[in-house]
Structure 1
Amino acid sequence: MDVSFCGGFMRRRATAKNVADAAGVSKWTVIRAFTPGASITEESKRRVLQAAAALNYSPNLLARSLATNLTHQVAVFVDDFANPQKLPFLETLTDRLQAEGLVAMLININNHFDHVRALLNADQRQVDAIIMFGTAFRSETLNDRRLGRSMPPMFVLARDSQIDGVPAVVCDAELALKEIVDHLYEKGYRRPGFMAGAPALSTALRRRHHFIDFWKQKGVDETAVISAERYSAQAGAESVRHYLQNTDAKDRVDVLMCENDILAIGALDEIRGQFGLRVPQDMAVIGFDNYELGGASVYGLSTYEQPKDEMVEVVIEMITGRLPPETVTLPGKLIVRNSA
């Protein structure tokens, strides 16, 4: 048996050979018993599992990875933790990864740990795949001389991919913004505004681009664009405050679309609380993501819901090889509440 230390006491860890001896089978039969889909008789598997339970044995995944060249680890890159909508996505993603026997390695992309360092770190740990979850990743990064020629397969989740050969799984932004603009136009709004978040991420989302284009198709050529710089309620409040303080009432937008619900919640607090404006009578507000707090009666935020479960399912299917690695866009759903 292997020897390890636990709490200052020496503990013996059962090995595959110990289980094989106890079950009266070969070591390779033990390995097959713990390998999903491996060929093994029900009787042999029963004996192995019974012996393993008696010896408190569990497979050594590190040793198995050396034999299979698979670590069953998936690196997940995230760079905007201020957006709480990330948490429901991460919950669903990690749940599905674990159901497949995979473990998520969460990597925080920030000023001290950029994409190149993150890629190097993930490659050194020999992860099986990399999911870039809402990160502002550029194709030029792959040209960095420090990166090897053979990187783990990469996937973009919840953003358009800007990299050739790297597939994205994303909510259909064009369809979403068409539904939003159609709804707002039918309600009689004619002076639209758009609040964008972090510049690099905003470009990848393309929501502003489609919002402006669809209004032009309706004959509305001018769309006010407000920059929030980052995705947070505080940034949304600051941005709309600056806009309202510097824009005459007669020139203000009659509907403000925010790039996500967190910006919209901050904007709503400022519009109502600090400026005393009525929503939607004086200014309507609509967000994107269907963050749970936005549905509370105090906000009543109209929004657009991304198909989170379906998006995660598709990226898992690609990682496991059950679907080909190609960009997939999925439709979401317009959620109409009191704010617009």
Structure 2
Amino acid sequence: MRKRATAKEVADAAGVSKWTVIRAFTPGASITEESKRRVLEAAAVLNYTPNLLARSLATNLTHQVAVFVDDFANPQKLPFLETLTERLQAEGLVAVLININNHFDHVHALLNADQRQVDAVILFGTAFRNETLSDRQLGRGMPPMFVLARDSQIDGVPAVVCDAELALRDIVDHLYERGYRRPGFMTGAPALSTALRRRQHFIDFWKGKGVDEIAILSADRYSAEAGAGSVRHYLNDIDPAARVDVLMCENDILALGAMDEIRGNFGLRIPDDIAVVGFDNYELGGASCYGLTTYEQPRIEMVQAVIGMIKGRLEPETVTLPGKLVVRTST
């Protein structure tokens, strides 16, 4: 294996001290232009780059952020992860993606992240238990945690989330104005300490308009297949005269699966027989074959907020940001 050039070798070549080399690669450090020029020229000749892991021993910062994900089947995760990793890298931070699953639970993941000395942990999934994250193995020295894109119900863990109350008010107002009066709601995977609260707001706003009967459909995970299966079970079991006239799904992936099932296997028209609404504004939902009405989360602003807390520019507190209703042909 190629032997890496050291800071001492660069210092000898440039005729300066090792600490001058370190200052030359430290943003904002005090160093003369002439010394910095000599260091950078010697570094280029020796193909030297600073060892960030070694530097972290002195700064107590590794510039690594662990991102915990537990529902990779949900394709809406990808746009968020793209924005998150891009913005982290722009800040000089690196994302360490950790897959939470049956073989690697949250406690093991947190202990592993702590051993790697990550600067922070972002919980970006559905099933983070308060009692699990409060496990006695996890002490005070653990890195700070933040929840992204879901409400946090974990003490001391702030969240950055789209304003669900505002979103559902806008959605229900739109549906009511269009004349729908028999609403239904499809939930996704059961959430634990990081909930969405979309269903409850949906129910509350309909009740505020005098509509008390709301059908609740359940999907066991966030996938098109689960959305199709949930609506199939509902349509098979309900009398056609009693069917909902509008179905809101907790996210777009469920909605797309439901739409395929409603039209493909039951021959119903959207929105004439059943209107459909999603949430997240997933790109495929905008295709002409779907025309899915949805709600767009402020993805960039949410990512900027959580990174601002990690970098210390913002106070670590729960932040709620407004999104926007996107009306298409499905309603």
TM-score normalized with structure 2 length? 0.97
Q: Of 137, 150, 155, which aligns to 1:159?
A: 150
Residue of structure 1 in register with 2:141 after alignment: 150
Task: Note if contact 2:128-2:194 (Cα within 8 Å) is conserved in structure 1.
Answer: no
Structure 2, unpaired ranges of 5+ = none
CA gap 1:298/1:202 in 2 versus in 1, 3 angstroms: farther
CA gap 1:88/1:161 in 2 versus in 1, 3 angstroms: same
Q: CA RMSD in A?
A: 1.2
Residue of structure 2 in register with 1:118 after alignment: 109
Runs of 4 or more consecutive aligned structure 1 residues displaced over 4 Å after TM superposition: none
Residue of structure 1 in register with 2:176 after alignment: 185
Q: Give the % identical residues.
A: 84
Q: Of 247, 256, 276, which aligns to 1:256?
A: 247
Residue of structure 1 in register with 2:270 after alignment: 279
- What amino acid is the match of 2:186? M
Residue of structure 2 in register with 1:330 after alignment: 321
Secondary structure of residue in 1 paired with 2:176: helix
Task: Note if contact 2:169-2:201 (Cα within 8 Å) is conserved in structure 1.
Answer: yes
Q: Deviations over 1:61-109 (max 9, x none)?
A: 1211112111111100001101001011101111111111111111111
Separation in 2, partners of 1:142, 1:202: 10
Residue of structure 1 in register with 2:131 after alignment: 140
Q: Of 198, 201, 205, which aligns to 1:210?
A: 201
Residue of structure 2 in register with 1:31 after alignment: 22
Separation in 2, partners of 1:50, 1:326: 45
Separation in 2, partners of 1:236, 1:336: 21
Secondary structure of residue in 2 paired with 1:165: coil
Structure 1, unpaired ranges of 5+ = 6-10
Task: Note if contact 2:126-2:190 (Cα within 8 Å) is conserved in structure 1.
Answer: no
Q: Deviations over 1:101-125 (max 9, x none)?
A: 1111111111111111111111111
**1:1-340, aligned counterparts within 5 Å?**
5=1, 11-200=2-191, 204-340=195-331
- What amino acid is the match of 1:83? N
Report the CA distance between 1:40 and its aligned residue.
2.2
Separation in 1, partners of 2:193, 2:229: 18
Report the CA distance between 1:201 and its aligned residue.
5.7
Separation in 1, partners of 2:272, 2:133: 49
TM-score normalized with structure 1 length? 0.95
- Give the length in aligned residue pairs: 331
Separation in 2, partners of 1:133, 1:254: 33
